[in-house]
Amino acid sequence: MKKMMTSLLLAAAMMTMTTACSSDDPLTTSGGTTILNGGDEGDNSGSTSGSGSITGGGSSTGSYSEMSTFTVAIDKTTAEPTDVAAAQYPEDGDAPSANTFATTVNIDMTSPADPGVAGVTVTIAGNDVTVDHGSTEGINYVVTGTTTDGSLIINGKTNFGLTLNGVNITSASKTALDIECSGNAYLYATGSNKLNDGTTEDHKGTIFAKGKLLISGDGSLEVYGNYKNGIHGKNSIVIEKGVNLYVKSTENNGIKSGGDMFINGGIINVEVSADGGKAINGDANVTINGGRTTVIATGNGTWEADETLSTGGDTKAAAGIGSDGNFYMNGGELYAKATGSGGKGVKADYEGYITGGKIRIVTEGNLYYSNGTTESHNYTGNTDNLPSAYTSSPKGMKMGGKDENEVAYGGPLVISGGDIMIRTSGNNAEGMESKGTLEISGGSVLVYAHDDAINSTGDMTISGGTVVAVGTNNDAIDANGNMYLKGGTIIACGANGAEAGIDIEEQHKLYITGGYIFAIGGRVDGNLGSTSQGIVSATGSVSANGSVSIGDGSQTYCTFVMPPVNYGGSNTIMISTPELKSGSSYTLTSGSSSVSVTASNTISSGMGGGMPGGGGMPGGGPGGR
């Protein structure tokens, strides 16, 4: 049956629904149940009981109305959350609880002296102290005191403990704490501790660790990087519950891990201001299982020369978290902010997996352009024929990239749980992107973006959870492969004009087999493959925080509540729910205004065609790094 297109004028003054619902609730059903996070296992397939209530439940800790205004700031005082996942370590036996260091070696940096402990040599040259425990087991260095021009160097071959107890070390020229020992370093901070490096000798960070570095404690540790990185681990780095860690770098990265990075707990705040700097940077995977992590990068994009590339180099953007491998979020809280051109909240070169925890990401920068000679921090020119190496688009969360031959790599991005909110405001700034496939099966995902809110280069599948996507200047949900909507709650709000609430690349198709779906924008762009539930369409305007309900006259099946964005004039509206059957008539209601609509199992020709991605390119914009 040809879809009926009905003109529905949803006046802003008539958006108060008689059905009970909150402006922070994306959807309520006939039973009054609110869908937010899905069930306890992060799954919400959108299935209904006999009364029409959604099974599952859960809630988002964030307010629905704050998705367009929330921000991220350094916070050293709020306690770390109790909602954590199991701690993880690089290898079995690495956990601090599995290691004991019973032999104490006291080092006073104010008045250094050799304590005369068997198996440990101590060398003192002015305020520079070098200790070496060789192959001696069970050593625990306890460091106190203050030096304004000194350093501590630790040599050895075995694992050791390092207790910082009210220490303040400033080096005028080099690394303040130089751990050259090849064994694991178990750093425990108690009391207040502060480390500063110098700027006259070449070194990698204020703290350098050759072996694995595991940081824990019941006190605080402040690290200031003035030459390069704040903390540089040549191997893996682990941060544990209890410690209050603050790292600030003005020249490069805040925390740099040469192996895997694990955050199992702690209150962690990292700030970086260098162009292209990462607050947390891992050469392998970055995993967050607990703690409260805040990362802020204020640097702009920059050009990184590389003669091995045909372009002569590549653009490099700053980021809150940058992983050269995969990104995993299982528990705890992550707050990320990037304010410079091309900046990203979370960036992984390959895959991303989110199973739990709370994520808040803000980016404020614009599109960065450079060819090695000319650069712009707010590039607005045509990017159709530019190498991707010349541009870096700001992103809230990005998995994957493009190689020198413009071939996408990386992904998938898989979300099965968690409470996620992303806001981007700069030119060409997307909310969430996977250069491979993208899958959402649970959790709460709220994205408010200047460009595409959610974008995938490959197929996109949404089978559970709650997804609220707003693209203020482009598409809300954009798949450059097939799109499979199988369950959950989906509210997709694209821009007016040629942009769409739901956009499928013209060579691919949309398949609907479940879920509560509301889409609004200039159009719904793409071709329908098949659907097992009815589709209703209309045109009209909807105000911010307004609501739209659909039912059969005797009952309301569900009420969709709009995000904080206005849609004036004539917009394309599409609704699909499990209750809708093709060929049946229903009542579409806004406030006291109602209209009769007929469900179909097709998308009308007026919704198809157009340029893929809203701009003729995968991703809805330039495929920059």
3-state secondary structure of 607: helix
- Assess if residue 551 is contained within a domain: no
Q: Give the integer Cα–Cα distance in Å for 565 and 446.
A: 13
Q: CA dihedral defined by 77, 144, 210, 122, rounded to 10 degrees?
A: 180
Return the bridge partners of 556, or none.
551
Task: Give me 213's structure tokens.
Answer: 């570095």
Q: Give the integer Cα–Cα distance in Å for 85 and 195.
A: 31
Q: Give the integer Cα–Cα distance in Å for 412 and 136.
A: 46
Q: Give the integer Cα–Cα distance in Å for 146 and 176.
A: 12
Q: Is the pLDDT of residue 40 over 70?
A: no
For residue 15, name the pLDDT band (cuts at 50, 70, 90).
very low
Task: Give yes or no for a contact between 530 and 510, defined as CB atoms under 8 angstroms apart.
Answer: no
**pLDDT tens, 544-587?**
888 899 999 789 999 999 898 888 878 889 999 999 999 999 99
Name the nearest CA neighbour of 170 among 141, 127, 107: 127
- Assess if residue 162 is contained within a domain: yes
> What does pTM read for this prediction?
0.89
- Assess if residue 458 is contained within a domain: no
Sign of CA dihedral 399, 500, 524, 43: positive
**pLDDT tens, 158-172?**
999 999 999 999 999
3-state secondary structure of 143: strand
Q: Which domain holds residue 227?
A: 85-264
Q: Give the integer Cα–Cα distance in Å for 500 and 89.
A: 44
Task: Give yes or no for a contact between 46 and 450, defined as CB atoms under 8 angstroms apart.
Answer: no
Q: Give the integer Cα–Cα distance in Å for 205 and 256.
A: 9
Task: Give yes or no for a contact between 61 and 358, defined as CB atoms under 8 angstroms apart.
Answer: yes
- Assess if residue 574 is contained within a domain: no
pLDDT at 594 (0 to 100): 85
Task: Give yes or no for a contact between 604 and 2, defined as CB atoms under 8 angstroms apart.
Answer: yes
Count of C-beta atoms within a 10 Å radius of residue 1: 10
Q: Give the integer Cα–Cα distance in Å for 440 and 45.
A: 11
Return mean pLDDT, the chain.
Answer: 87
Residue 186 CA: distances (Å) to CA of 26, 97, 237? 46, 10, 10
- Assess if residue 618 is contained within a domain: no
pLDDT at 25 (0 to 100): 56
Task: Give me 605's structure tokens.
Answer: 């020709």
Q: Give the integer Cα–Cα distance in Å for 495 and 513.
A: 26
**pLDDT tens, 382-432?**
988 899 999 999 999 999 998 888 999 999 999 999 999 999 999 999 999
The number of domains in the chain is 1
Q: Give the integer Cα–Cα distance in Å for 285 and 348.
A: 8
**pLDDT tens, 309-321?**
999 999 999 999 9
**pLDDT tens, 229-241?**
999 999 999 999 9
- Assess if residue 540 is contained within a domain: no
Return the bridge partners of 571, or none.
540
| CA atoms in the 13 A half-sphere facing the CB of 549 | 27
Residues in the chain: 625
- Assess if residue 233 is contained within a domain: yes
Residue 232 CA: distances (Å) to CA of 150, 211, 283, 327? 19, 11, 11, 19
- Assess if residue 102 is contained within a domain: yes
For residue 41, name the pLDDT band (cuts at 50, 70, 90).
very low
